[in-house]
Amino acid sequence: MIEAYKPYNEQEIEDKKRILTYIDTYPDVLTRENEIAHFSASAWVVNHDFTKTVMAYHNIYQSWSWLGGHVDGEEDFLKVALQEVNEETGLSKLKPVQTDIYSIEILEVPAHIKRGKEIPEHLHLNVTYLIQADEEEQLLVKPDENSAVAWMFLEEAVEKSSEAEMKEIYRKLNEKIPVVQNQKN
């Protein structure tokens, strides 16, 4: 699926090359056993009219953030993205806008402590999906991961993130929405 993915911009062209190199170099990129680089799956969750997204206030990064997590050996990345959205927000009426990958990126994860364990600096080879959810459905906090969950307008999501490198990714995800909408029409 990574090989078939058509990059959207220069960042994705470079990250696709690097991801394919990691896949060819390491047999264990689907699990956290690989402490250098491993796969994660994320979701850019939008409402039905594509004007808002769901963000969670991430406890580790102290920032408003998209939703997602480690694939932990699962080869169906879309399944992981959907599960993560449900676990992190309580949303259950989820529908992929498309089953194809929406975006790819390599994310630098700084060293941190999670559940009392030291996690070394590493890379997330990230695959993102565009998911629609019902804005009227109740949002729930997952206290061990986030301290707030909220719908916000697309640009507001970019502004509220305190991570400069993620702002660029969120801008890209927002920028791509009309492309996907045109493909569907």
Query: C-alpha distances in angstroms, 142 versus 13, 58, 107, 139, 164?
Result: 34, 10, 22, 10, 24
The domain made up of 10-180 has a fold known as Nucleoside Triphosphate Pyrophosphohydrolase (3.90.79)
| Alpha helix stretches (DSSP H) within the chain | 10-25, 77-89, 154-160, 164-184
- Using 50, 70 and 90 to split pLDDT, how confident is the model at 185? low
Hey, is 158 helix, strand or coil? helix
Question: Which of 30-39, 54-63, 109-118 bottoms out in mean pLDDT, i.e. has the lowest?
Answer: 109-118
Domain layout of the chain by residue ranges: 10-180
**Percentage of residues in the chain having pLDDT higher than 70:** 99
pLDDT, tens only, 12-48: 999 999 999 999 999 899 998 888 899 999 999 999 9
Q: Residue 50 in contact with residue 58, Cβ under 8 Å?
A: no
- pLDDT of residue 113 exceeding 80, the answer is no
Average pLDDT over all residues of the chain: 94
Average of per-residue pLDDT across 56-67? 92
* Cβ-based neighbours of 43, under 8 Å, separated by 6 or more: 66, 67, 68, 81, 82, 84, 85, 128, 129, 130, 131
